[in-house]
Amino acid sequence: MKEFGTLEYVLDIYSKNWTWKLTGSRAVSMVARVIPQAWYGDGPEEAIVPDTEHNVQKIKWIMETYPLEIKSRNIWQRKTRHMTVPKRKWTKIEKLRKANPGEQFRGTLLDFQREGLDFLLKSSGNALLADEMGLGKTVQTLSYLATEKQTFPALIVAPLVTLSNWQREIQKFLKKRSRNGRVVEGQHPSSVLIRTGKSQEIGKYDIYIINYDLLYKRLDDLSKLNIKTLVCDEVQHLRSKSTKKYSAVKKLAGLESVKYRIGLSGTPIYNRGSEIWPIVDILRPGLLGSFDEFCEYFCYVNEKGKAIVLENKRASLGEELRKHVMLRRKKSDVLKELKEKVRYKEFIDSDINYYYSELDKIWKRLEEEQKTATSAFDKFSSYKRAIQSERQAAGAAKLPHVIEFVKNIMEIEESVVVFCHHKAIHALLHKSLHEYLPSSIIGGQSDKERQDNIDRFQNGETKLMIAGLRAGNVGINLSKARYVIFAELDWSPAIHRQAEDRLHRIGQKNTVFAYYLIGNATLDDHVANVLVDKSYEIDAIMDEKEEAFENKDKAELILAQIHDRLTAKH
């Protein structure tokens, strides 16, 4: 029989989801009768069908009698091939109880933290602790080291800025166990910070602490230490399986001596749901199958070649994680006394003349660099520099209005944290807000400088903190403030959430207001939309629901005060 239409896999411009497009009057007529969820495309001879297993099966039934010309053959074959969830070899983690930490632990756990300890014990120490930031993942991990048998020596891999904090927490919460097994009350386990990439013998310690970037350089030395427990803090650093640090951790996790593998992160998914596979493959190899099997079942590939978890698979992926490897608690679930966090997008004016003048220079420079580039890498690098320059131009164009916004918040006499991305913007904020004697967190500070600035702010010696988005988003407590302002935006929603949760954590007694200042008619508009789209995918997998990006009622109350002050001045 002559083919009576076509079938193609397309991104629907209205729903922004990947769908099946059928063309031809007979095909559309048939679809209208058997698939009630379908809708018309650009004309009466086009039908758009949501990409669900049920709908794919119905299209397959239609094609058994009425053949279609398939324009997306590879995708159609993958969709209609018999698909099964990757084979599970792990048992479900049972209902949690409030476990008591071992005698080597010093301190008191909250009830939900005792349940976290029980989760680690029941998962045999091979697990992802994905509690929201500020709920004490570090202390729950240390309580596990003090409770489970034969956990030492342990290796903790963490971002550079958190290494000293790990050592402080070890000294605070753990007691030393002597060689004869007796717990020594006034002492703590021996620990060492590994700060050099030069290969050399490492002495014997209970706990080794190293940052991700040095790991592959010291792999041979670390492999000789008979490590029993591997802890990967901020485990989202391992979301790409093509990096040197991932390869190094994978080799360490596979050592015969390693019995326990713990990943910690409130934001294990940074941009795309498929980033969870490399992390799970280290903690519980085989749980999600091979990467190809994982992608075949859970994902589609977008126009940029990135694996995106299908909308109708996000909940089932989240369920799979929570059943077998991941413990995820939100602050609203376990800290009833902690007030909520409110996000709000505030559009502010920008110096458009300056912005477009800078854009003209940026793109002219890019055009010249592209002409003289001798390789694809050079072309790509020059393009990336142009994008960074445009982001900085967007930040500078709105800066006067950002400063005005911050000053008006400060007049309400509240402590404020301002996050920015570029060092140039950081410096300009400091210069323009010097009257408030702000504290500062920025890349390149020593551990002491960084901690001194945090202490100044937390102790109330200053009411303003200016922090770099990438330098100040992990490993610090800024609960003194209730207002956080994003003077610049990052492409990843996880970066912003980590930054927000420097304030929204145990010890915070007030509602936290997070303001995203978006420069009108600049790159900010596009970045903000990208952030929201990525947030939906992450929330659906991690938290079983999509969190609203803003809560206008409470946030507008604060904005009304600011606008009232502005009006009164003019």
> pLDDT digit string (tens) for 415-437?
888 998 888 888 989 898 999 89
Domain span(s) for CATH 3.40.50.300 in the chain? 341-569
The better pLDDT of the pair 424, 180 is held by: 424
Instruction: Kindly state the average pLDDT of the residues 494-505.
Output: 75
Question: Is 8 strand, coil or helix?
Answer: strand
Provide the pLDDT for residue 538.
Answer: 61
pLDDT band at 45 (very low <50, low <70, confident <90, very high): confident
Q: Return the closest-CA partner of residue 173 out of 136, 139, 206, 199.
A: 139
Of 333, 335, 336, 346, the C-alpha closest to 545 is 333
Structure tokens at 253: 């996790």
- Residue predicted with more confidence, 315 or 348: 315
CA distances from 416 to 189, 246, 472, 479 (A): 38, 37, 14, 10
User: What's domain 111-334's superfamily in CATH?
Assistant: Tandem AAA-ATPase domain (3.40.50.10810)
Average pLDDT over residues 82-106: 74
Nearest to 267 by CA among 313, 320, 330: 330
The proportion of the chain whose per-residue pLDDT surpasses 70, expressed as a percent, equals: 85
| pLDDT at position 129 | 94
- Residue 504: band (very low, low, confident or very high) from pLDDT cuts 50, 70, 90: low
Structure letter (DSSP) for residue 65: H
Kindly report the average pLDDT of the chain as a whole number: 81
Average pLDDT over residues 276-302: 88
Four-residue CA torsion sign, 428, 434, 435, 436: positive
Q: What is the dihedral of CA 569, 564, 405, 539, to 10 degrees?
A: -170
- Using alpha carbons, select from 43, 66, 17 the residue that is nearest to residue 58: 66
Residue linked to tokens 């209208």: 32
pLDDT band at 354; cut points 50, 70, 90: confident
Q: Where in the chain is the domain with CATH 3.40.50.10810?
A: 111-334
pLDDT of amino acid 336: 67
Instruction: Look at residue 549 in the predicted model and tell me its pLDDT.
Output: 41
Q: Where are the alpha helices (DSSP H) in 108-236?
A: 111-122, 137-147, 163-173, 212-215, 219-223
Cβ 502 vs Cβ 473: under 8 Å = yes
Would you say residue 321 has pLDDT above 60?
yes
Residue-wise pLDDT tens digits, 264-281: 998 888 778 889 999 999
| Section 500-517 average pLDDT | 76
pLDDT, tens digit (0-9, with 9 covering 90-100), for 116-171: 999 999 998 899 999 987 788 999 999 999 999 999 999 999 988 788 889 989 99
Q: Are strands 126-129 and 326-327 parallel, antiparallel or unpaired?
A: parallel
* Stretch among 9-13, 402-406, 490-494 having the lowest mean pLDDT: 490-494
What residues form DSSP beta bridges with 418?
466, 485
Which whole number is the average pLDDT over 452-477? 82
Q: Which two tokens stand for residue 543?
A: 């938290």
Written as six digits, the tokens of 359 are 């854009």
Question: What's the pLDDT score for residue 256?
Answer: 95
How is residue 70 annotated by DSSP? E
pLDDT band at 525 (very low <50, low <70, confident <90, very high): low
SS (HEC) of 275-315: HHHHHHHHHCCCCCCCHHHHHHHHEEECCCCCEEECHHHHH
Stretch 196-200: mean pLDDT: 91
> Residue 540: helix, strand or coil by DSSP?
helix
pLDDT at 33: 75
Q: Are 210 and 194 in contact (CB under 8 A)?
A: yes
Per-residue pLDDT at 551 exceeds 60: no
Query: pTM higher than 0.85 for the full model?
Result: no
Residue 307 pLDDT class (50, 70, 90 cuts): confident
The confidence score (pLDDT) of residue 548 equals 44
Which residue has tokens 């559009």? 347
For residue 547, what pLDDT band results from cuts at 50, 70 and 90? very low
Note the pLDDT of residue 85. 47
- In the structure encoding, which two tokens stand for residue 547, read together? 């969190």
**What span, in angstroms and rounded, lies between the C-alpha atoms of 263 and 275?**
14
What band does 550 get if pLDDT is binned at 50, 70 and 90? Answer: very low
Predicted confidence at residue 205, as pLDDT, reads 95
Check residue 541 and give its pLDDT.
67
Cis ω before 285 (30° cut-off from 0): no
Which residues does residue 200 pair with via DSSP β-bridges, in sequence order?
A: none
Number of H-type helices and E-type strands within the chain:
20, 22
In three-state secondary structure terms, 214 is helix
Q: What is the pLDDT of residue 544?
A: 58
- Which whole number is the average pLDDT over 331-351? 73
If you count them, how many residues does the chain have?
A: 570
Task: Name the band, by pLDDT with cuts 50, 70 and 90, for residue 370.
Answer: confident
Asked whether the predicted pLDDT for residue 292 surpasses 50, the reply is: yes
Which of 169-173, 293-297, 486-490, 542-546 is most confident?
169-173
H-only helix segments in 13-129: 25-34, 53-65, 73-80, 111-122
pLDDT at 60: 81
Identify the CATH homologous superfamily for domain 341-569: P-loop containing nucleotide triphosphate hydrolases (3.40.50.300)
Enter the DSSP assignment of 230. Answer: E
